[in-house]
């Protein structure tokens, strides 16, 4: 009878050791996968915003040539349209990665950000004679949507701390009336 208790003790010990080791390994694997996906999401978000920045920079330079944006580095509209086409293609590719990796609120924020960028693009087209006021309104809308994107992405990535929106800082420049 004593041998039976010993055998049962060994069996219970082995089974509990196996269960605890399995639970630990599963927990470790889940953590590693979460970290891995966070890294991929961060890369997708950074790629998207980086490509969109290229697109916006071309728009800003084209707007400067039309006299609706106060920067010194203007660009001819024809040259700008070529840069825009390339930047838009790169942005579209980066957006596809974001669609695969992002959560719903970040994807919604990215879509709104792209729409606001397209509104700016409309204002710099050669056949459109937009005003400084129209550019100012559309550009501020773009900045708000950009802040919304950053807030959503930070939330998805679990970044702690409050995000400081652009409107909370004093302006470093303002568009002329």
Cβ atoms of 73 and 119 within 8 Å: the answer is: no
- Own/partner contacts of 32-36, CB < 8 Å, gap of 24 or more, are none
DSSP one-letter code for 12: H
| pLDDT, tens digit (0-9, with 9 covering 90-100), for 128-176 | 887 888 999 999 999 999 999 999 999 999 998 888 888 777 766 555 4
Which is nearest to 97 in space by CA: 40, 57, 54? Answer: 40
14-41 b/e with 16+ CB inside 10 Å = b? eeeeeeeeeeeeeeeeeeeeeeeeeeeb
Helix, coil or strand: residue 76: coil
Return d(Cα 106, Cα 91) in angstroms, integer: 16
pTM of the predicted structure, to 2 decimals: 0.77
CATH topology of domain 28-156: 1.20.120
Return d(Cα 93, Cα 44) in angstroms, integer: 10
How many alpha carbons fall within 13 Å on the CB side of residue 92? 7
More confident position, 4 or 90 = 90
Return d(Cα 113, Cα 97) in angstroms, integer: 16
Mean predicted confidence (pLDDT) in 61-82: 87
Return d(Cα 80, Cα 30) in angstroms, integer: 47
**Encoded tokens for 94:** 């980066």
Q: How confident is the model at residue 19 (pLDDT cuts 50, 70, 90)?
A: low
Mean pLDDT value across the chain: 85
Alpha helices in 67-103 (DSSP H): 77-101
Return d(Cα 1, Cα 103) in angstroms, integer: 60
Cβ atoms of 175 and 139 within 8 Å: the answer is: yes
């Amino acid at each position: 009878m004593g041998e039976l208790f010993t055998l049962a003790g060994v069996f219970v010990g082995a089974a509990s050791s196996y269960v605890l080791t399995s639970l630990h390994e599963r927990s470790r694997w889940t953590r590693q996968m979460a970290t891995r996906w966070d890294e991929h999401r961060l890369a997708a978000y950074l790629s998207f915003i980086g490509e969109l920045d290229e697109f916006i920079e071309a728009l800003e330079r084209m707007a400067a040539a039309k006299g609706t944006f106060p920067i010194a580095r203007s660009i001819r509209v024809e040259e700008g349209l070529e840069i825009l086409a390339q930047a838009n293609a790169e942005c579209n590719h980066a957006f596809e990665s974001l669609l695969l990796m992002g959560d719903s609120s970040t994807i919604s924020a990215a879509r709104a950000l792209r729409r606001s960028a397209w509104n700016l693009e409309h204002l710099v087209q050669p056949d459109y004679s937009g005003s400084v006021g129209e550019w100012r309104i559309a550009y501020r809308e773009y900045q708000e949507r950009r802040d919304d994107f950053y807030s959503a992405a930070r939330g998805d990535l679990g970044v702690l701390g409050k995000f400081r929106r652009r409107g909370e800082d004093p302006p470093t420049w303002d568009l002329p009336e």
